[in-house]
Structure 1
Amino acid sequence: MINNFKHIIGNNLINIRGWKTNRKIIVIESDDWGAIRMPNLDTRNKLTSTYPALYNSETYDKVDNLANTDDLTALFDVLVKFKDFKGNHPVITANTIVANPDFEKIKSSGFTEYHYEIFTETFSKYTTHNRTFDVWKQGIDKGVFKPQFHGREHLNVQLWLNALKENSQGIRNSFEMGTWNAKLNNGERLDVALNYNNEQQLQFVLNSIREGYQIFKEIFGYKSKSFIAPSYTWCDSIEKELSHLGVKYIQGGFVQIAPKYLIEKGSKRIRRHYNGEVNKLGQIYLMRNAHFEPSLYPNLDSVNRCLDYIKRVFWWNKPAIISSHRLNYIGNIEPENRKNTLEKLENLLSKIVEKYPDVEFMSSDQLGDLISVDKSI
């Protein structure tokens, strides 16, 4: 009871400041599209049982995988059932990781060099994913899937490569099975891609952003106007690099987490932002204020909890920006995971359009464009 009360108070507090609108806007932001995680059921069972401390075996490493054609088609089939009063379908802002480790080349280098492959090349190595990118294009054409930039990898390359060189427990075995661990033996997370421990590592991070952004443009034929940092960890130097590239909007969670190097130099670990806040480079922050994460919180009533978020957000005259990660929609490891989420998503969307007949569905970049022309921010 007390924790729930604190949660409600906190959710109201984050919506007090920032850009206001009387329009009932819904944005669904979904991270991790394009990134590898757990290759298959057999690999998952072997690794999570052998190295339980190194994996998120109850969430991401339990079900998360490259979405295949069945995953995408089923998701799109639900989204196209609904329209707002302007005729727009709900749209998934598909925050995309554009590259994955090239395991063969890394091994050939004796684990001394990092090599990557574009995520569309990764699809070709999975027998169940041959036509996957064609389905991405179909979703884009239907207006229900809008890729935005999430990074080159969702992996801290420098930490991982060093652990491979040292042949750390579990790291090499995971590598041989075509994946990477969620954590190192000391508990440090490998999915915090933009974390760094010194200035040299920062330069590696900035270069990965430059290369990743260029890959994004070549794949999709447009610049990504928005960006979301893996694991919500980034710094001012990263924002400056993104600004040079053309990123106008910074997606985020409730807080921004500082890289380890800056924390050790005395910076605060977290920084709070609000929707419509403008940084010194003119970039606008888009902060998530609602959640629909059935796979992360299976014991919660995801539908009604999300509706409660939306109700509070609209009461404060704010757009509802819903976090809903890719893992919720993946069924090629556990089919029930996808089935369960899509049933709940259909229920959620049905209730939204019924309760808010004037609802408007937007992608993150569309919301950013709307806020950017409002001179009141």
Structure 2
Amino acid sequence: MELLAFALAGLVLLWGGVLLAFARPLVARWREPVLRQPVLVIESDDWGAGPLEQADALQALASLLRRVHDRSGRRALMTLGVVLEVPDGPRVAASGCREYHACTLADARFAAVRQAIQAGVADGVFVPQLHGQCHYWPPALLAAARLDEGVRAWLTAAEPGPTEVLPAALQTRWVDAARLPAAALPAAAIAAAVAEECANYASIFGTPPKVAVATTFVWTEAVEEAWARCGVEAVVSPGARATGRDAQGRPAGVDRAMLSGQRARAGQIYLVRDVYFEPVRGHAPQQLVAGLLARARQGRACLVETHRFNFLQARDASLAALEAGLAAALAACPALRFATPLELARALRERDPAWVDTRWRPRLAAWRARLDEIPRFRRAARLSGLQFPLALLRGER
């Protein structure tokens, strides 16, 4: 008996050591709010200034979303990460690529695109949010065009083209990626650029942006501070903030990880978007459903990332995949709730009891479902035997 007691004491000490070693991420996931019911948000980036065929794609998307309802009768909705300008190619060409000139979303040639967005907003199926004045840093684009013929051709094209064809590093707005590794932007330049884009957003949509998502998910704390001064309440992230681009052009310089519901130092609520659904890249409807079910077990909202290119390159197939995914999501989770990111952020900030579950059993089950995502914790729990008592915390939500 004494030997058994000694062994049990040693096991408890071992488990305590594992828990202590991972205390910070374990506590963070315990504090993270647990939602009462599954929540789905379809988030789509890059809309606005750009190819003129967007208008037809937006109309088709709105028609699809109007046909889909959750149990409360609310229509399915899609956020539109809006880009407010592209280059005015002929004017840039006339300057010999020495000067940048913009063609903004307010230009007459984008009238049909604006109308399609506004009609969807009026019907409650589109929710615009700030993606950026442009999907690049203009001085960096000019500098790159002097060295890269492909960038130069895109920059000087007669008709607005898709930013998706630019090198990934150049699609980043909040660093200077003309040369790699990318250089940081001055805080004053960031502040001026954010103030300009927020004012331009308000002039088109009638209200300042409340939700922002950085292009290519590369941004800095200075950007968040500038967004806060303009009234942005929520920042959409992939769960980490990359602040630069490395020598290979990859996102780098991660200076913060975040969970949904956590606050930025500037005051915004972070929302995590980490389920991907790009039909053009072979993602089937089941990928959307699998992501939703996993987030539901974790007590989290499912923010699904999809991009404009799906609905421009293969519109009919992508629309069919999205409709099938939404139907399968509603079948898998009958209590599914469609929501806007701003509604979700405010509910998480206020710990709204209509959204957030405070009961111990659901919180424990959700917390247990979140643990496997912690780097190295799963292996440590398996090697120490801690996985067995943790398995008892699994439960139906």
- TM-score by structure 1 length? 0.76
The residue matched to 2:262 in structure 1 has which SS? coil
Quote the Cα distance in structure 1 between the aligned partners of 2:61 and 2:163. Answer: 28
Matched, 1:146 2:146: no
1:193 matches 2:140: no
Query: Aligned pair 1:29/2:29, yes or no?
Result: no
Equivalent pairs counted in the alignment come to 315
Q: Which moved more, 1:226-235 or 1:68-77?
A: 68-77
Change (3 A) 1:278 1:373: same
What does residue 209 of structure 2 align with? 224
- CA displacement at 1:25 relative to structure 2: 1.0
**Pairwise mapping of residues 172-251 of structure 1 onto structure 2 (< 5 A)?**
172-178=152-158, 179=161, 189-196=169-176, 201-251=186-236
For 2:193, the aligned partner's letter is: S
In the alignment, which residue of structure 1 is the partner of 2:117? Answer: 136
Task: Return the structure number with greater relative CO, CA threshold 8 A, min gap 6.
Answer: 1
In structure 2, the CA distance between the partners of 1:69 and 1:235, relative to structure 1 (3 Å rule), is: closer
Corresponding residue of 2:58 = 72
User: Do the aligned residues in 2 keep the contact of 1:33 with 1:326 (CA within 8 Å)?
Assistant: yes
Residue of structure 1 in register with 2:329 after alignment: 352
Deviations 1:143-195 (A, max 9, x none): 0001111110001212111133x3533333333434487688xx772101111
Question: 1:278 Cα deviation (Å)?
Answer: 0.8
Unaligned runs of 5+ residues in structure 2 are: 1-25, 177-181, 247-251, 359-397
1-structure distance, mates of 2:123, 2:168: 40
Could you say if the C-alpha distance between residues 188 and 131 of structure 1 is closer, same or farther in structure 2, counting changes exceeding 3 Å? closer
Deviation of 1:365 (Å): 1.4
Structure 1's 269 and 357: CA in aligned 2 closer, same or farther, altered over 3 A?
closer
CA distance in 2, matches of 1:176, 1:221: 31
* 8 Å CA contact 1:233, 1:259 repeated in 2: yes
Q: Distance in 1 between matches of 2:119 and 2:322?
A: 20
Aligned pairs (5 A) from 1:1-377: 16=29, 18-36=32-50, 65-121=51-107, 124=109, 131-164=112-145, 166=146, 168-178=148-158, 179=161, 189-196=169-176, 201-260=186-245, 268-269=253-254, 271-295=256-280, 297-298=281-282, 300=283, 302-330=284-312, 334=313, 337-374=314-351
Flag the structure with higher helix content: 2
The equivalent of 2:13 in structure 1 is none
Pairwise CA distance, 1:16: 4.6
The CA RMSD measured in Å over matched residues stands at 2.7
**For 1:233-286, what per-residue CA distance to the aligned partner results, in whole angstroms no more than 9, with x for missing partners?**
00111111111111110001243211259xxxxx94353211111122221100
**C-alpha separation in 2, matches of 1:276 and 1:310:** 18
| 1:34–1:97 contact (8 Å) kept in structure 2 | yes
- Tell me the CA shift for residue 132 of structure 1: 2.7
- Residue 47 of structure 2 contacts residue 80 of structure 2 at CA under 8 Å; is this kept in 1? yes
C-alpha deviation, 1:136, in angstroms: 1.5
Taking a change above 3 Å as real, the CA distance of residues 188 and 203 of structure 1, as seen in their structure-2 partners, is farther
Distance apart, 1:205 and its partner CA: 3.5
- Give the greater-gyration-radius structure (CA): 2
**TM-score normalised by structure 2 residue count:** 0.72
